[in-house]
A = this chain, B = another copy of it.
Amino acid sequence: MQTAQRVRTILSHYKRDRPEKRANVVRLLMHGQSGGTGRLLVLPVHQGFEHGPTRSSAPNPPAYDPHYLFGLAVDGRVSALAAPLEAGSDSFAGSVPMILKANNANGLAREQDQSVAAPFRDALQPDCSAIGYTIYLGADAQYGQIEEVREATAEAREHGLAVVIWAYPRGGELSEDGRTALDVVSYAAHMAALMGAHAIKTKVPGVHPKRGDANDSFEGVETDSLPGRVAHVMRCAFEGRRIVVFSGGGAKEEGDTLDEVRAIRRGGGSGSIIGRNTFQRPRDDALAMLERIAAIHSDGET
């Protein structure tokens, strides 16, 4: 089977992990609509912590209920649900792989940092396949975050958990545009790979190819197209040997989202992570959209 072969190829990039330790990576790669294709489709639902429950759920009030979010992940047949484990994981045990999003920002804070709101031990349960951490690369707090996450990464791998790093350039001297500049996004993805991530989550690289002060050369890189920029990020993630999934940020038109997904696919990206653009839509629309995204990633139609 071609798809299983793709998964085996991906697993060959994680030879440092002993075989019995890679079960959870397999689980993520074999579950749901994208199972076996080597692509991931992740539903993240920690926005309640980061932006507040009202702002997250008011556009689609059933989403106030954490069970609704679990149900969306199950029926939408995503690869994994990224969430705090606290709500619903009991009722939905075994129905969808979970990524415990261990640290979170919050919208009531004045300074940009992350607190580890879920202790590591929460991840050591049957319904949890991976642990996820955000790093604000560029922020003044990044040195401490890097050490914290690297330590957690090593521990997670020892327990056979997959590790997902949300590699977010932010803070320090980075401008708003700089956060999605191509050299910055690709740098962040590279660091996450060096830090031991099995999968990396970045933002879609923007049209600003460089920070103003950078002398990076992009000769030979197709910076004008999103597929070209995605391809450069993948190259910086160990020449494509690491899984990189892309997010598109805030809510937008379905057509725009699908165009972006197609571009990610053409650039060789490993998948999508898509939250507000699904759970803030009515359930049927969201399920249809997840199906379309999975189809784009899976059949490779470009």
Contacts and interface: CB of A to CB of B under 8 A. Distances in A.
Contacts of A173: 110
Given A54-B236, A115-B142, A186-B54, A241 B87 contact: yes
Contacts of A90: 14-16
Interface stretch (A27-35, A62-70, A255-263, A265-273): A62-70
Interface in A121-155: 121-122, 137-138, 140, 142-144, 146-147, 150-151, 154
B65 A193 contact: no
How many copies of the shown chain assemble into the complex?
5
Nearest to A217: B58
Given A107-B187, A191-B49, A238-B66, A150 B113 contact: no
B110 A190 contact: no
Contacts of A174: 108
Contacts of A299: none
Given A67-B239, A172-B109, A119 B154 contact: yes
B194 A65 contact: no
Main secondary structure, interface of A, reads loop
A283 to B, nearest CB: 15
A24 interface: no
Given A64-B236, A108-B174, A54 B217 contact: yes
B115 A186 contact: no
A121 B155 CA distance: 10
Q: Which 7 A-B pairs have the closest CB atoms?
A: A15-B90, A65-B239, A115-B143, A108-B138, A58-B217, A53-B236, A54-B216
14 contacts: A48-B190, A48-B194, A49-B191, A52-B183, A54-B186, A54-B187, A58-B220, A58-B221, A64-B239, A106-B142, A115-B143, A115-B146, A117-B150, A122-B154
Interface of A: 14-16, 48-49, 52-55, 58-59, 61, 64-67, 84-87, 89-91, 106-111, 113-119, 121-122, 137-138, 140, 142-144, 146-147, 150-151, 154, 169, 172-174, 183-184, 186-188, 190-191, 193-196, 214-221, 232, 235-236, 238-239, 241
